[in-house]
Every structure is written in C-alpha cells, then in structure tokens.
Amino acid sequence: MKYIILAYNYLTLIRAIKYIDCKWGRNNSTIIYLNLVSELPLKISEDYIVKRISCDSLSIRKRGILLLFQNCFDTKRTWKQIKDIIDVTESEIILVLFKDNEILESTIIENSYKKYNNKIHIWMMEEGSGIYALEAPTIRYSALKRVIYPTLGISRYVLKKKSQGLHPYLEKIICTKPELFENKKKNRNLKIEQMEDIFTQDINKYFIQAVIGKKSKKQYTFVFLTQPFKDWADDYNELLIKHETLLPQIFKILSYYGKTIIKLHPREHYNYEQYLNQNIELVKGEENNIPFECLIHFYGEPQMISMFSSTSINIISDKPSIYLGKMFGIPMMDKLFTKVFYEENNIISCNCLNEFETIIRQSVDKGEINV
C-alpha cells in the first residue's frame, strides 16, 4: 500500500508527518506540498519524500476573478503531479486530503475515483473545525463558476454548498471528535477513525527546529489567535469597523488581567502592532507560521481567544477557550456549530464586551488562569 498526502500549510504538513512516522512509513508515503501559505522547510524535504508545487493562489495580489483562475490553474498542476505518481505505482494507493469541498480537493477526488477506481482509496483527515460545521460558506460568483468549471475540467461539487466530509467518494474520515462527526454521517458507508495525538513533544520539537531552530520559553496569560476577515469579501468593511471598534477594548481588558501574545494567522494582513504595549506582544517572523499547537508549552499554556480558531479543538485544556465570532459579526457563526460542539471542546461563545470581561474575570477568580 502506498500513500499520497496532499498538504498545503504547516498544520496539514505536521499531521502528514505524524501519520507517516507512526503508521504509514516514510518509504511508502509521498507528500504533495503546495506552498499556499508557507514555504516547505528544507529539513522536511530532506527527511521525507516530498513533491513541492509552487502556488500563488492565496497571494494578496490576487482576488476575485483573478484568484478564481489561479485556483483552477493550481488544481490542474497538482492533479498532473498526483496522476504521474499513480501511473507509475503498481500497488493500491490511499489518497489523503484535508478537505473535500474546495476546488482543488473536490477535483482531485473525482478525477482519482473515476480514473483509478480499481486501485485507489480516498481518505480525508481533519484539518480544523470546518469538518464539524453544519453549513458551507456562501459561494461567490456561482453563476460564473458554473460556466468556467466544466470548461477547465474543474469539479462542480463545490457549487453544491456541501460542508466538509460529505463527498460520496470518501471511504474514511480521520478526526479528533468522531462522535461529533457521526451527526453528519447520515448512515453513509463511511468509516470514521479516531485521530492519533498529533502534537506530541517530540514532533513539536522536531518541527520547531526545522523552521526556526531553538525556541526559548516565555509565560503568557492569554493568546489571541487571529483569523483573516478579508476572506469574507462581501462583509469586509463592516468587519473592519468591528475590529477597529472592539479590539482596542478587548486588549485593554486583557492587559489589565495579564500578559497576552498575539499569534497571527499566516494569511493575516490586519495591523495588530497598533495594539502592542508592555502587556501585549506579537509573534513575529517565521515563528508566526508555526501552528500554535506546537508552541503552546513554550508560551506557558495561555488561555486561547479567537474568532473561531480550530486550535481550540486540537488542544486539550482545562482553561475554556473563548470564541468571539458572534461578537464581531462573523457570517454564519450562529449556524456553524452545535451546542454539543462547544460543550465537547470546552469553548465559550461570547456575544458582547461585558460578557467577555466577565468570562475573563471568572477564569481568574476560579484559578483557571494565572495573572
């Protein structure tokens, strides 16, 4: 059995490495890495079989229709790389992806199934909380895409507005919370497997050294994990106003109760430096591209605050994680997750500033965080 794993950021790369080392084997596994967000560390390319595909899909220079065509171009190049590997492989192949409802992944799933159905098995591994979402984001330019996709050989599955994990060609889902995904399974003949503990001390140390070398430890009370609101183009101006109104007050509250480190999303372009002070710091340089899951122990295991970061389901902590998506008016936040999702992952969804400060103060009073 041979494995082909399609990774596109450091988080998916780490998951691939973990499973290659503990289950699949280095000689049996090929990573297809798209540098959509971060460049492939040299150490990883030396230690594993990796085919790197240079992409520019998520460049800030490309938006709208230009980005749409770039996505299609990257998809065709990626499919050719995967096809070339499958064609020279005699054994059965397991293709592992981290999404199934995006342009690239849905196209590769369908092309693989239709061309190599007799020798390929398609698995999906959890990348983040999107796998538990009940709805998919609103589709932009849908009328145009219905014309362009068939012409360019792109799957139209993405136009069905399906949430993650529902593609009919998937055979297995590997996720951190199988019981939560069961609610979406709908009695399909789909295997669901508990994900291995990914962010162990050994792999965290290995990956940090591969990217930045040694890392010193420092204590923080809170970590603020950002998410790029430019992804919601139709709501961008309103979200910008919300950020400029709420963030000064949020960081004022956090400064009063302790020290905060701001960990930017790799695609974040909002200026958070304007909020820095003696109690508010910012992760900079290549360290910012490393998933927080790898860094948490180096930061003193701070309480997590975000719009709706998947990090909150990847890290087991006694400290409740705080979601601010509803307060900031992030689209669809009321519909994304069930009540059970919040309870199972020790997440509190916050609606307003007063509620936020109350939650922080209660965490301090209960001794859940140290100040």
Residues sharing a CB contact under 8 Å with residue 186, sequence separation 6 or more, in sequence order: none
State which amino acid sits at residue 176.
T
Q: Tell me 8's DSSP state.
A: -
How high is the pLDDT of residue 57? 44
Residues 285 and 212 sit within 8 Å (Cβ to Cβ)? yes
Chain CA centroid to CA 103, Å: 16
Distance CA 357, CA 352 (A): 9
- What is the side-by-side order of every strand in the sheet holding 260-263? 280-282, 260-263, 222-225, 303-306, 321-323, 347-349
Residue % of the chain over a pLDDT of 90: 63
Q: Tell me 277's DSSP state.
A: B
Which residue bears the tokens 């959890």? 126
State which amino acid sits at residue 51.
K
How high is the pLDDT of residue 320? 92
**Nearest CA among 273, 304, 336, 347 for reference residue 131:** 336
Residues 1 and 51 sit within 8 Å (Cβ to Cβ)? no
Task: Read off the pTM.
Answer: 0.89
Structure token pair of residue 216: 């010193």
State which amino acid sits at residue 347.
I
- Report, as an integer, the average pLDDT of 156-182: 91
- Categorize the per-residue pLDDT at 338 as very low, low, confident or very high, splitting at 50, 70 and 90: confident
Name beta bridge partners: 277: 280
pLDDT digits (tens, 9 = 90+) for 90-142: 999 999 999 999 999 999 999 999 999 889 999 999 998 889 887 777 777 77
- Report, as an integer, the average pLDDT of 149-176: 91
How high is the pLDDT of residue 368? 64
pLDDT digits (tens, 9 = 90+) for 196-212: 999 999 999 999 999 99
Q: Rounded to 10 degrees, what is the CA torsion of 307, 309, 158, 9?
A: 130
Q: Going along 9-49, which residue ranges are E strands?
A: 29-34
pLDDT digits (tens, 9 = 90+) for 276-333: 999 999 998 899 999 999 999 999 999 999 999 989 888 888 899 999 999 998 877 8
Distance CA 290, CA 257 (A): 26
Among 17-21, 42-46, 54-58, 117-121, which stretch is predicted with the lowest mean pLDDT?
Answer: 54-58
Residues 96 and 4 sit within 8 Å (Cβ to Cβ)? yes
